[in-house]
A and B are shown apart, each in its own frame.
Chain A
């Protein structure tokens, strides 16, 4: 069975902290994605990667960076967390489309 695993289901951090969200997929997909989901705004793409060490900005990359050192792992980094980054973060991987999502990480920045 296909699997996208996000490191944490719930996370609480403080303003100004550097936050790492990890995502691992076991389907050998080239493409991986990070989204955030907020009420009334839907899913918004932060960054995506179509190969190891390759990354592309999505619609809302400000305040975030990503790392793809290995094909199966895609990390989202909040350089200096702020309260407006409190959200549900979803990782996805896919061949031609983001078919498979992880369970999501509900991140709260205090």
Chain B
């Protein structure tokens, strides 16, 4: 089993739709979780950290489920500019060694 798994998509959704991505991880000792966004031919950029209590940043909501070892990202009221690949990132144990998921591609259509 891969350390971090994501549905590669693509998810094609109309503007204004709500879309959710899940990511599963295999290492139960992982402590830090993040969502990154990567535009085509660009570097990944931190979108948001994921906290145990869940967190929200505008239209974006991240959730962590430790028991089932998955994290989720919910995007409400999708914009064309949300089109990108979303990378799930999990740290290995307690160190600085991070594992990136393969990414989920989102296309928001007009």
Contact = CB atoms under 8 A, between A and B. Distances in A.
Identify the interface centre among A35, A43, A58: most chain B CB within 10 Å of its CB.
A43
B96 A48 contact: yes
Contact of A99 (B46, B100, B101, B103): B46
A74 interface: no
A58 B97 contact: yes
Contacts of A99: 46
Contact of A42 (B32, B46, B91, B100): B100
Interface residues of A, number: 24
Contacts of A104: 43
Contacts of A100: 46
A36 B44 CA distance: 12
A42 B96 contact: no
B32 A43 contact: no
A97 B32 contact: yes
Interface string A41-68: 1111100101000001011000000000
A101 interface: yes
Given A99-B46, A101-B45, A104-B43, A56 B97 contact: yes
